[in-house]
Chains A and B, each alone.
Chain A
Amino acid sequence: MARLMFTRDHIKDAFHAAVPIMLGYVAIGIPCGILCDSIGLDALQVLLLSALFYSGAGQFMIPNMYLAASPLASIIASVSLVNTRQMLYAASFAPECQNVSRRLAFFFAATVTDESYGVSTAKFAEGGWSVDRALMVNLFSQTSWTVSNVVGVLVGSAIGIPLDIAAFAMTSIFICLLVTQKMTSANIVAIVLAMLGVYACKAAGLTGPAILVGALLGVAGAMAYAGARDRRIVAAARAASGEQGREERS
């Protein structure tokens, strides 16, 4: 394809878009590294986890569950279950990825997170965005996450960061992404059902798949709602044209 990618301007665009994520990852990456240090992981292991696994929720869960003496199989199963929500993220970029190489699409998908998914979704919706920029947003974010985790391991528990406050930076990012969605009636159906679904899963003790199940419920509900609305519109149009036909005949 003739279109230029990874130009200086694209790198700049991507960096600007990634700054909020990078700062957020510093705030939660350092505590995550400290936690990993507390179960005896060293800097190399944390580097490998951040580079090859790259999952905020997962990298918190592993040391937390290990400290709680969970068996290894249960740690692996829980972490993998929580991460199944990632299936929805990259898939939602299928239309944007139709015209790029498989390799670019693969690397973009392989480095998506909750936060970078959100930023790229917003940027593609604004327009003037591209998959190479989106991949670079992912890579800037991952670099920040990796460096912060390694710093966390190296400083150990020498500095204290209140984790609940630091983690609220990520919650705030999700809230902003939610608030800036187009509030069509079908989207509101998706939002309300997704929230109810998460709450119901948690109430039933299914905290692992709560996000995936909630999100799927939201999508399914919105599809049903939009489908019913389409059928109503078609029926109304048919009724109107039917009446018109009768008028013409009479």
Chain B
Amino acid sequence: MTVQTLALCCKAFLAVLLLAAGGAKLADLPGFAATVRLFAPRALGSRLPAAIAAGIAIGELALGAASLTSPQAGWLNVAVFAAGCGFAIVSVVGYVRHPGTPCRCFGALSRRAFSPAGIGRSMAVAACAAVAAWPAGQALAVVGAAGRLGLLAGGTLVAGGAYSAAAALGAGRDPLAGRA
């Protein structure tokens, strides 16, 4: 496997990951807002963290969709790398300040908490994003209009599937454990 192919694999993987994470978060915004509130100053109240949570979920969806369907746009790779670094920082701070608290990184799809393993996963994501930003990979990332449309349809399916799965899991769990 060449470096270019590896970079494309990382890019596609991260784009799909962002779509799934964004879709799942969107299905459990109150839950994710509770996680955001762990990091927000109390003075912000409860509405702003909820808005931030919605912004993060929608931002992930938009970034994932754009990165998946516009593989030649190099700046998107940088944006994904920045997001990956952001996730890594949040997981480190989350582990230091709130160990064991659910991070809700994938909404109700996952019950993983801030932990050393979580830090490792987010570091791996950041490393993956660094590889995806490798400029040589863009030469092979040529996709026509039909291909981009197909990718967008596939990405919508993944985001919709993640949303539905997270909503179904949340519906079965929420009255019992809102903090799941």
Instruction: Answer yes or no: are A and B bound together in one complex.
Output: no
**B interface vs A, CB < 8 Å?**
none
**A interface vs B, CB < 8 Å?**
none
